């Protein structure tokens, strides 16, 4: 081995920094709580399942101040829940039937690239197929967007998408079976603001299946739209931050 070959390449040096930071983090954890890793290794018992966006700026545990083991997390582009995604559905079933979580929380975020791309009708490649689910949300609520100024469209689509995914969670056989069995399970819809770090409750939490899920969704959308109009759209840009 020559002297030059022993020098790590730039990518290797970057990865080495991650291992160094990992060691530092583990040491800090042990200093703060000597039993932390032993306790974590024995079991996980989260009460919450977070279904969120894969965006690197939305660290689920940090946002809600929970330690590892306290929040079960599933992430994908634009926090979509569809009946053909067995990855998401498997996570949902494991969370409810094995971990016995009590809350499923769909969490979108403002300034979401997936939302922005779907709204603009852009093309990015393979992800276009996934983003068609967002385009479907846009089409289902086209009259709402026709009634709002264009600067509010992105935030509105973000919120509507969360509500639609809450409905999809509630329509899953896993959640319906849990409710029929009387399990204490609630489903919620939230949005995270990148610009201020705050979560917003969209006002739709379900603890049992409503008589008409679509009607319940429509009522929630109407309340959300009325609140936005009453506020003059002032809160619509609270979470904006550019990618």
Q: Which of the residues are catalytic?
A: 53, 55, 57, 109, 112
Question: What are phi and psi for residue 199, nearest 5 degrees?
Answer: -90, 145
Tokens of 19: 């291992």
- Which of 103-134 are b and which e, b meaning 16 or more Cβ less than 10 Å from the residue's Cβ? bbbbbbbbbbbbbbbbbeeeeeeeeeebbebb
Question: Which contiguous run of DSSP H or E holds residue 109?
Answer: strand 103-109
Q: Which residues contact 101 (CB under 8 A, 6 or more apart)?
A: 46, 47, 48, 49, 72, 95, 185
Beta-carbon neighbour count of residue 7 at 10 Å?
Answer: 9
- HEC profile of 160-209: HHHHHHHHHHHHCHHHHHHHHCCCCCEEEEEEECCCCCCEEEEEEEECCC
């Amino acid at each position: 081995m020559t002297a030059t070959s022993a020098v790590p390449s730039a990518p290797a040096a970057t990865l080495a920094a991650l291992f160094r930071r990992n060691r530092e983090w583990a040491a800090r954890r042990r200093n703060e709580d000597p039993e932390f890793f032993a306790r974590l290794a024995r079991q996980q018992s989260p009460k919450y399942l977070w279904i969120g966006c894969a965006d690197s700026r939305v660290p689920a545990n940090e946002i809600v101040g929970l330690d590892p083991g306290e929040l079960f997390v599933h992430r994908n582009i634009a926090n979509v829940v569809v009946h053909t995604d067995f990855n998401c559905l498997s996570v949902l079933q494991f969370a409810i039937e094995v971990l016995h979580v009590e809350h499923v929380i769909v969490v979108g975020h403002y300034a979401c690239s997936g939302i922005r791309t779907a709204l603009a009708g852009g093309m990015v490649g393979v992800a276009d197929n996934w983003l068609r689910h967002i385009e479907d949300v846009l089409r289902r609520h086209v009259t709402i967007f026709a009634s709002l100024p264009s600067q509010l469209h992105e935030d509105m689509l973000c919120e509507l998408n969360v509500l639609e995914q809450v409905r999809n969670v509630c329509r899953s056989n896993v959640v319906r079976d849990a409710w029929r069995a009387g399990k204490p399970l609630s489903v919620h819809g939230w949005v995270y603001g990148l610009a201020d770090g705050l979560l917003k409750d969209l006002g739709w939490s379900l603890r049992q299946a409503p008589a008409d899920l679509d009607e319940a969704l429509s009522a929630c959308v109407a309340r959300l739209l009325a609140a936005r109009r009453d506020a003059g759209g002032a809160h619509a840009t609270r979470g904006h931050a550019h990618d």
